[in-house]
């Protein structure tokens, strides 16, 4: 290899080795994760995007006046969900679900997903924000036992 090729190769190699990986991840600050502001919604799965860096569950909620609203819930990355047993087929279009989340602070119809209750009564915790999912589920189960869940 002559000098004309070595220098660019070394420079390129050095640049690649010293480059900071581009982690374009956000904080969870856009979500209100305080327990007192938690939302719990019954709906039907409209779409399940099992992707990286975040998966998204969209459900259609029927409002008291009969209109319908779509809500989108941010979940963990597919790579983080698989070890939890959550896959591309866990949430199917048309499935009835109950979801809990920390709503977006700006009022849009979205939230960080804390837990999902399936029609058969089982739960999944498809989030990566520490223990907020398990804590929300524990609160929900305690309220359910007292007969005040969803109020």
pLDDT, tens digit (0-9, with 9 covering 90-100), for 69-111: 999 999 999 999 999 899 999 999 999 999 999 999 999 999 9
In a domain, 9, yes or no: no
Q: What is the mean pLDDT of the chain?
A: 83
Beta carbons within 10 angstroms of residue 86's beta carbon: 21
In a domain, 1, yes or no: no
In a domain, 58, yes or no: yes
Contact between residue 76 and residue 125 where contact means Cβ atoms under 8 Å apart: no
Provide the CATH number for the domain around residue 61: 2.40.50.140
Is the pTM for the entire model greater than 0.85?
Answer: no
DSSP code for 69: E
Beta carbons within 10 angstroms of residue 113's beta carbon: 29
Tell which wins on pLDDT, 4 or 127: 127
Q: How confident is the model at residue 149 (pLDDT cuts 50, 70, 90)?
A: low
């Amino acid at each position: 290899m002559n000098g004309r090729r070595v220098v660019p190769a070394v420079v390129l190699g050095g640049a690649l080795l010293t480059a900071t990986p581009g982690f374009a991840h956000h904080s969870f600050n856009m979500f209100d994760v305080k327990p007192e502001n938690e939302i719990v919604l019954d709906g039907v799965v409209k779409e399940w995007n099992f992707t990286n860096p975040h998966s998204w569950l969209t459900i259609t909620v029927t409002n008291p006046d009969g209109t319908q609203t779509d809500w989108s819930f941010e979940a963990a990355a597919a790579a983080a969900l698989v070890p939890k047993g959550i896959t591309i087929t866990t949430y199917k279009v048309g499935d009835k679900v109950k979801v809990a989340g920390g709503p977006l602070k700006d009022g849009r119809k979205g939230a960080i997903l804390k837990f999902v209750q399936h029609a058969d009564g089982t739960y999944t915790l498809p989030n990566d924000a520490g223990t907020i999912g398990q804590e929300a589920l524990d609160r929900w189960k305690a309220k359910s036992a007292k007969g005040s869940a969803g109020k």
